[in-house]
A and B are shown apart, each in its own frame.
Chain A
Amino acid sequence: NAGVTQTPKFQVLKTGQSMTLQCAQDMNHEYMSWYRQDPGMGLRLIHYSVGAGITDQGEVPNGYNVSRSTTEDFPLRLLSAAPSQTSVYFCASSPRRDSNQPQHFGDGTRLSIL
């Protein structure tokens, strides 16, 4: 059982470049979300989705786009990378619309913007 899979694990970009961070889960979870982790700030919510075709903004959405065309996939797009987006990105999913269920996290993508 793969759980939540994130690709790539590492990426270096130049300022202004665009890229997509991939996230896939094989647990048929309704909820999926993206967080970024910065030193001393814990993880902060970027965007989330409660099901296919439905997305919404989190705490720090600027500079990022998401879409949810299938239950399994929830890609995160950086339209024009900026050094402030250097971070570790985590994708998470949870089994149903219930706060009592813990979120399952992927292993993270370490992104550096030069």
Chain B
Amino acid sequence: AQKVTQAQTEISVVEKEDVTLDCVYETRDTTYYLFWYKQPPSGELVFLIRRNSFDEQNEISGRYSWNFQKSTSSFNFTITASQVVDSAVYFCALSLGLQFNNAGNMLTFGGGTRLMVKP
């Protein structure tokens, strides 16, 4: 079975600080996909990024960056120069390759990290 752990339940920062959200995953499969979703106070889930297990390149998108390290089974998310609009709950999630079964497309979520950015 798969497991995703987000050890930080809540983080509070002051605007313009950098912040890193940790994500550690467990799976015995060699093919898998990792995701980050954002849930703002309005409640919807917003897709941020996906990464497959064969691509360990880090990715940067504006103020967002992701560090994928298979050696430590981690997929951490950094927000540079945080803004109040970044305040949300962030979820890390994992899904498996479909070569195993039809459930491979389904997501296993971590418990989420609530980020509060204060002005």
Contacts and interface: CB of A to CB of B under 8 A. Distances in A.
A33 B109 contact: no
B44 A99 contact: no
A111 to B, nearest CB: 13
A42 interface: yes
A68 interface: no
B64 interface: no
A97 B95 CA distance: 12
Contacts of B106: 33, 45, 48, 58
A44 B98 contact: no
A93 to B, nearest CB: 10
B54 to A, nearest CB: 11
Contacts of B91: 42-43
A22 to B, nearest CB: 17
Interface size class of A (residues with CB under 8 A): 20 to 34
Interface residues of B, number: 30
Interface in A41-83: 41-45, 48, 50, 54, 56, 58
B24 interface: no
Given A42-B91, A44-B109, A99-B33, A108 B43 contact: yes
Interface of B: 4, 6, 9, 32-33, 35, 37, 43-45, 47, 50, 52, 91, 93, 95-98, 102-112
Interface of A: 31, 33, 35, 40-45, 48, 50, 54, 56, 58, 88, 90, 92, 94, 97-105, 107-108, 110
Given A35-B107, A42-B111, A104-B47, 11 more contacts: A43-B91, A97-B98, A97-B102, A98-B105, A99-B33, A99-B96, A101-B105, A102-B35, A103-B105, A105-B44, A110-B43
15 contacts: A41-B111, A42-B4, A42-B110, A48-B102, A50-B105, A56-B102, A92-B107, A99-B33, A99-B97, A99-B104, A100-B52, A101-B105, A102-B35, A103-B107, A108-B45
